[in-house]
Amino acid sequence: MADMEMPTTAPPAVQKAPPAPYQVRKKTPHVVHRAVDAPGPVVDIGHHMQAMDMGRWFHGVLDEFEGRYQAGGRSSLRWDGEAWYGGDYNRLWLKSEGTMTKGRVRDGDQELLYSRAISTYFNLQGGLRLDLDSGPTRAWGAVGVEGLALYQFEVQATGYFSDRGVAGRFEGSYDILLTNRLILQPQVELNLYSRADPRRQVGSGLSDIDTGLRLRYEVWRKMAPYVAVTYDSPLTQGRHMARKRGERASEARFTFGIRSWF
């Protein structure tokens, strides 16, 4: 039997399609995991993500716009939102939050920050904070980090400094997807101050806590009504100051609101 002739060339290699971009739907897109809430391309190369910092975009989130109801006339309106302009590595941020009760605004916090990506999941931020509400105005310098911790926990830790001392804030939240549209979100915010400021009803030490458990339904991705149970309270010295003013030290309230982004 004649010898079989072996092929002299190897078969062409099978071309594999490039992997799909890794996307995380969070309110704060970071340098290498573009959120579906925000525009822009992302290229996945194995375990590393390479962001294409070739464009500039504008993105805003109204994370909390809610009414907090309590019998006895202590109902209030609260907002918490932020917007940024820039690319994947450098951004300019504007943040705003506050609470209105009986026509008076308290806890008004407006921040203008510059942000720089320092790792895959975290940004370094620095800038100016102004306390603008019905109380005396206060100005602070600000520096902190914001990003995604392990298991997709969204966290912020910011330090503030002025001639009145130093302050700090920690915020954390986590989205639990019950379905593709029904999302349960626990959230907490803690504030601390090195010195008391009675004119702004702020005590020294661990000053106050604001937390909630929100259940939202994304009617469409840019609009999500929610219901919640929220709790806010001054702590330590702030609690004593509130009692001297004849106010309730802590309040748990039924809450309803809307989350939106653009």
The count of domains in the chain is 1
Q: Is 25 part of a structural domain of the chain?
A: no
Burial state string for 120-148 with b = 16 or more CB within 10 A and e = fewer than 16: ebbbbbebebebebebeebebebebbbbb
Cα separation, 166 vs 94, whole angstroms: 21
Q: Is 5 part of a structural domain of the chain?
A: no
Q: Is 3 part of a structural domain of the chain?
A: no
Least confident range from 11-15, 21-25, 74-78, 228-232: namely: 21-25
Dihedral (Cα; 31, 153, 193, 73), 10-degree rounding: 120
Q: What is the mean pLDDT of the chain?
A: 82
Q: Is 123 part of a structural domain of the chain?
A: yes
Q: Specify the pTM.
A: 0.78
Q: Is 245 part of a structural domain of the chain?
A: yes
pLDDT of residue 4: 42
Asked whether residue 236 carries a pLDDT value surpassing 90, the answer given is no
Domain of 152: which CATH number? Answer: 2.40.160.40
Asked whether residue 52 carries a pLDDT value surpassing 80, the answer given is no
Q: Is 30 part of a structural domain of the chain?
A: no
pLDDT of residue 76: 92
Asked whether residue 235 carries a pLDDT value surpassing 80, the answer given is yes
CB atoms within 10 A of CB 97: 19
pLDDT tier, 51 (very low <50, low <70, confident <90, very high otherwise): very low
Q: Which domain holds residue 100?
A: 42-261
Dihedral (Cα; 9, 13, 14, 19), 10-degree rounding: 180
Radius of gyration of the chain (CA): 24
Q: Is 173 part of a structural domain of the chain?
A: yes
Query: Rounded to an integer, what is the distance from CA 187 to the centroid of its chain?
Result: 10
pLDDT tier, 247 (very low <50, low <70, confident <90, very high otherwise): confident
53-70 mean pLDDT: 90
Q: Is 36 part of a structural domain of the chain?
A: no
Query: Could you read off the pLDDT of 159-207 as tens digits, one per residue?
Result: 999 998 999 999 999 999 999 999 999 999 999 999 998 888 888 889 9
Query: Could you read off the pLDDT of 92-135 as tens digits, one per residue?
Result: 999 999 999 888 898 899 999 999 999 999 999 999 999 999 98
Asked whether residue 35 carries a pLDDT value surpassing 60, the answer given is no
